[in-house]
Amino acid sequence: MSYNAPSTSFNPVTDLPNMKGRVVLVTGSSSGIGFATLQHLSRMGAKVYMAVPDEQQTKAALERVDKEGREPGLGEVVWHELDLKDPRTAKTSAERFLGKETRLDLLGMLPLPFYFPHSNKFVLVNNAALISDGGKPSLNADGIQDNMAINYLGPFVFTHTLLPLLEQTAADGTDVRIVNVGSAGHKDVTYHSFDSKAAWNHRFSFTILPTLARYQYSKLAVHLWSNHLARRLTSNGSKVMLLIAHPGAILSDGAIRNLKTLPFPSFWIWLLGKVMHPQERGAFTTVFAGCAPRNDPNVVHGAYIVPPNVLFQQAKAALDEAKQDELFKFTKELLDQLDIGVQL
């Protein structure tokens, strides 16, 4: 069985609860599916933080938000600087986010220190991802392949730095969610070692599409981490809800940029436009996972949501608790080596 295409009739603004006065942070949201996610949420009335590293790129994205409209909800969009390539900056960004209005920690109303009257939901959407490395994988300053640094390790550090406050707020009855954007490609990974830096930097040189294989490997890491975190939240009695969302086959801004590097780019964009889906629909599963009522049968802690907004089975490898533990163990060891303290 396979998932279907995104719904052509679903409309987040009319089909999901209003998000007025609620706080959402979306990583990687200045373009692509992340930008579409941000647009939907602002049109639903949420205050949305565009968590990206480049202020200049953010300026263009904010102008696009206003040009294309935030109606009817007229939610606010605010830039928050976040560079996921370096786990240190990911941690610093989370700490800076928490420290902007620390007085709100005393109110116990929100997972983050920002005050919005009547707010009772915070949603953290880990959307940012490096899809293509152009066939030339590079390493960050710590010797970690960029795919794993940006798609897994940075989000791991950022999320876990925020987690104590998320848990504290959820304990007071606030609807707090973490939505990690996964990929159906996680099921195609055949290399399942996650216990060393060498494993993380595996190049997949002997596969047909090494660039795609590296991306899929990093997304399997996201699924393993998400399932491990869901288990820990449950065992700790936390009320934070974690979900994984797969967008579907989407002709996003990033996909179009990659196609423009090929010969006859107009042809490829036209062709794939016939079989892939528009960017705004690629955000449907993420917005649904973050905003649908908890009594919806598809909205379950640890769920994997795929088009058209339905619960779906993850690959066996992603559900392997031994592999989840292996990834977590090495991640902890690596962060200790780098002297990056994160509450785990």
Note the pLDDT tens digit of each residue in 147-164: 999 999 999 999 999 888
Closest CA to 85 of 181, 4, 157: 157
CATH architecture of residue range(s) 12-337:
3-Layer(aba) Sandwich (3.40)
pLDDT of the residue at 287: 95
> What's the whole-model pTM score?
0.90
Percent of the chain at pLDDT exceeding 70: 91
The gap between the terminal CA atoms of the chain, to the nearest Å, is 36
The answer to whether residue 3 scores a pLDDT higher than 70 is: no
Distance CA 250, CA 227 (A): 25
Angle between helices 55-68 and 32-43 (to 10 degrees): 50
Phi and psi, residue 180, nearest 5°: -100, 125
Q: What HEC string does 6-61 produce?
A: CCCCCCHHHHCCCCCCCEEEEECCCCHHHHHHHHHHHHCCCEEEEEECCHHHHHHH
pLDDT of the residue at 295: 95
pLDDT of the residue at 259: 76
pLDDT of the residue at 335: 98
Angle between helices 321-337 and 210-235 (to 10 degrees): 100
pLDDT of the residue at 253: 78
Distance CA 306, CA 57 (A): 29
DSSP secondary structure letter of residue 141:
T
Distance CA 4, CA 114 (A): 38
Residue of 78 and 223 predicted with greater confidence: 223
pLDDT of the residue at 271: 92
Give the 3-state secondary structure of residue 121.
strand
Residue-wise pLDDT for 309-343, tens only, equals: 999 999 999 999 999 999 999 999 999 999 999 98
The answer to whether residue 300 scores a pLDDT higher than 80 is: yes
Contact 47, 25 (CB under 8 A): no
Residue-wise pLDDT for 88-140, tens only, equals: 999 999 999 887 633 121 111 222 223 233 345 567 788 777 766 667 789 99
pLDDT of the residue at 265: 87
HSE-up of residue 274 (Cα within 13 Å, Cβ side): 5
Q: Give the strand order in the sheet containing 304-306.
A: 77-81, 47-52, 23-27, 121-126, 175-181, 241-245, 304-306, 310-311
Residue-wise pLDDT for 34-77, tens only, equals: 999 999 999 999 989 899 998 888 999 999 999 999 999 999 99
pLDDT of the residue at 87: 97
pLDDT of the residue at 50: 92
CA atoms 252, 257, 262, 268: torsion sign: positive
Task: Output the DSSP codes for 69-116.
Answer: --TTTT--EEEEE---SSHHHHHHHHHHHHTTTGGGGGTT--SSS---
Q: Considering the chain, what is the average pLDDT of its residues?
A: 87
Distance CA 75, CA 85 (A): 29
User: Do you find a cis peptide bond into 87, omega within 30 degrees of 0?
Assistant: no
